[in-house]
Amino acid sequence: MEYTLILLAIFIVAISRAYYLDYKSDKEEFKFSLKKVGKKVLEYCFILLIIIGIKSAYTYFIPLNKTHGVEYNSERLKLGIPQISGNLKYIPEWSEQFELVWYNENSKNGHFKKIVEYGVLNAKSETDYYKNENKKDIYVWSEYDFTDNSFAYFMEKPNDKVASVSENGQLKIEKPRIEQKINKSEFEKFINE
């Protein structure tokens, strides 16, 4: 640490001495070069302000259409997407620039979470999560894709098979939970039980 400070002090003294000698040798040239350097510094500061402005505009204004909250429920009804009910609360801590999350912390059964994912221009998908208190640790969700107006259904459940043997005889540790795609009838059966 001491050596760094000593080297920094030597460097500053050397630069200061060089500027002083330059100033003494030709005062007009020195002033002209200072003006030139000052203009460059101002140009770079202006460019930096433009970059910061673009980044903040991107952060606050993109996605352009972020109106898929409660006011979008009438459109959800037409598309067959589950609506945001009064028991689902918007959670800003879980949400991000391209994702909004609604959650019902008191739900033990039924629809308990909705996530709306956005692209730059508009919403890309809405995912609705359901649980059933008769089937512990099993969740299902539907995902509506706005680009092709289609639903996909999924289920996540605990993996009963924690370890298995691979084809070459090695012991393989399985994931603690299994995620699988299901059809609409299995999904509806789960949420209606």
**What pLDDT, on the 0 to 100 scale, is given for residue 162?**
66
DSSP three-state, residue 183: coil
Q: Quick one: which of 4, 14, 23, 191 has its CA closest to 109?
A: 191
**What pLDDT, on the 0 to 100 scale, is given for residue 171?**
66
- CA 71, CA 28: separation in Å to the nearest integer? 67
**What pLDDT, on the 0 to 100 scale, is given for residue 94?**
87
82 DSSP assignment: P
DSSP three-state, residue 136: strand
Per-residue pLDDT tens, the chain, 193 aa: give them.
Answer: 677 888 888 888 887 777 777 666 777 776 777 677 778 888 888 999 999 988 888 877 777 777 787 888 888 888 888 888 878 888 889 888 889 998 988 887 888 899 999 888 888 999 999 988 888 788 899 999 988 989 999 998 887 776 666 677 676 666 777 788 888 888 888 888 7
- CA 24, CA 28: separation in Å to the nearest integer? 10
**What pLDDT, on the 0 to 100 scale, is given for residue 166?**
67
Q: Cα separations (Å) of 69 from 73, 85, 154, 164?
A: 8, 11, 23, 45
**What pLDDT, on the 0 to 100 scale, is given for residue 38?**
77
- CA 116, CA 91: separation in Å to the nearest integer? 12
- CA 66, CA 120: separation in Å to the nearest integer? 10
